[in-house]
Structures are given as structure tokens and as C-alpha cells.
Amino acid sequence: MVVTWECTVCGYLHQGAEPPSTCPRCGTASSSFSPAAKDVAAEKIGLLRDLYRTLVLHAVVAHFPNGLLPAALLFLSLSLVTAAPCLEPAAFYMTALVVACLPLSLASGIRDWRRRYGGVRAPIFYKKIALGSFLLIFGAAAVWLRATDPALMSEGGALRLLYLALLGAMMACAVFLGHYGAKLVFQWPRDRS
């Protein structure tokens, strides 16, 4: 008999005779699963209530920097190729805006982890907190470096390489944060074939 099992930590739904050994979303043990109390698919939700339930602060403040950072790197790359004087400062301001949004993104993510996931001690949450912290540190260092030396990109040298490395590290952190966030939200299984 097929039963719908619900993870009591993150709300992941699994259909099968037995619950999975670990939750593919949050990584907790099978003891965190219990039979679902109601048919979730049949539940009807109004538009405003659905917006209230799904429009969370963390989603907005996390996607805002994730959209700006690639654009900043694109502008910076174009400034190196075209030598257009307006692109490099625009990239700097976008990076500064990303860094300004990160504390709110981190705080709202930790708040959601505690409220929506019960603060469960799963590796995915610690990875996201560490990556978010590294993103903030790398971003603050890059903004400070560029703010103290506005001609950094035109001068070249080791500081320019350090600045580009910091921006690359920021992008890597943002990619992994998005990956782990998608695993949580979209309930990706561990073995994707």
C-alpha cells in the first residue's frame, strides 16, 4: 500500500510503502517522517493566501544579489574588452549593492531555517550559512579593495588579480548557494539520473 510520508522537519512529501532512509531535502533520518495528515494536493488555497505563504523575505533578498552579481561580472568583463569608461564603475556599484544586501539575506535565511525547518542540524543548512558568510567576507574585501583604489582595474598588477579572484570567489559562493537552495526548495533527489 502506498502511503504519503511527510518529513516533520522540512515538509518533504514521499510516497511509498516505507519512508526513505534519509530526507532528500534536509538530510534528517527516516524517524523524522510520519504519515501525512491530509491530502496536500487536494487543498485549495486562495491567491492572496498563496502569496502570503510563498512570498518570503529570504527569497527576495537572496535572488536580488544572485541576479546582480553575474551582471556585475558581465559589466566588468565588457569593460576589459571594450575599455568603455562607464562599465567598470557600474560593476563596482552593483557589487557594493550585492554586499549591502547580504546581511539581510543571511539573517532572513537563518530565520527561515529556524522557523520553517525547525533549526534542524542538517549539513545542508551549515553549508549554506558558511557559503553565505564567505560570500559576505569576499564581497566586503572586494568592495573595500576597489573603494580604496578606484584605478585598480586600469593599473593592473597583483591588486587587480586579487580583486578579480575575490569576485570569482563571490560568484562560486553564489552558485553553490543557489544549488543548495534549489535542493531545499525543489526537493531534488540525491541520485539524479
Question: Contact 108/61 with Cβ under 8 angstroms?
Answer: yes
Q: What confidence tens digit (pLDDT) does each residue in 135-170 have? A: 999 999 999 999 999 999 988 889 999 999 999 999
Please report, for residues 91, 159, 163, the alpha-carbon distance to residue 85 in angstroms, rounded to integers and kept in the order given. Answer: 11, 20, 18
DSSP code of residue 38: S
Give 173's pLDDT tier (boundaries 50, 70, 90).
Answer: very high
58: cell is 529570504
Decide if 132 contacts 113 (C-beta within 8 A). no
Let me know: does 142 contact 163? Beta carbons within 8 Å. yes
Mean pLDDT for the chain overall? 87
pLDDT digits (tens, 9 = 90+) for 93-110: 999 999 999 999 999 999
| pLDDT band with cut points at 50, 70 and 90 for residue 191 | very low
* DSSP one-letter string for 103-154: HHHHHHHHHHHHHHSTT---HHHHHHHHHHHHHHHHHHHHHHHHHH-TTHHH
Within a 10 A sphere around the Cβ of 68, how many other Cβ atoms? Answer: 19
- CATH hierarchy code of domain 3-46: 2.20.28.10
